Amino acid sequence: MVYVVAAVVATAVLCVFNLVLTLGLIRRQRLPDASSGPSLPGGDLVVGAGRRVGAFQAQTLDGEPVSDDALAAGTVVGFFAPGCGPCAELLPAFVDRVSRIPGGRDAALAVLSGSGDGFDAYVAALTGVSRVVVEPADGPVATAFQVRSFPAFAVLDDRQRVRSSGVTAGVFAAPAATR
Question: How confident is the model at residue 134, as a pLDDT?
Answer: 94
Dump pLDDT digits (tens) for 96-122: 988 888 888 888 999 999 877 788 899
The answer to whether the pTM exceeds 0.75 is no
Dump pLDDT digits (tens) for 4-44: 888 888 898 888 888 777 776 666 554 443 333 333 333 46
- CATH number (3.30.2230.10, 3.40.50.10680, 3.40.30.10, 3.40.50.10470) of 57-173 reads 3.40.30.10
Give the separation between CA 135 and CA 138, rounded to whole angstroms.
8
Q: Is 174 exposed, middle or buried (0-12, 13-18, 19+ CB in 10 A)?
A: exposed
Residue 139: beta bridge partners?
none
* Domain locations along the chain: 1-30, 57-173
Dump pLDDT digits (tens) for 52-89: 888 999 999 999 999 988 888 888 999 999 888 888 89
Question: How confident is the model at residue 30, as a pLDDT?
Answer: 45
Residue 70 near residue 105, CB atoms below 8 Å? no
Helix H, strand E, coil C: the string for the chain is CHHHHHHHHHHHHHHHHHHHHHHHHHHHCCCCCCCCCCCCCCCCCCCCCCCECCCCEEECCCCCEEEHHHCCCCCEEEEECCCCHHHHHHHHHHHHHHCCCCCHHHHEEEEEECCCCCHHHHHHHHHCCCEEEEECCCCHHHHHCCCCCCCEEEEECCCCEEEEEECCCHHHHCCCCCC
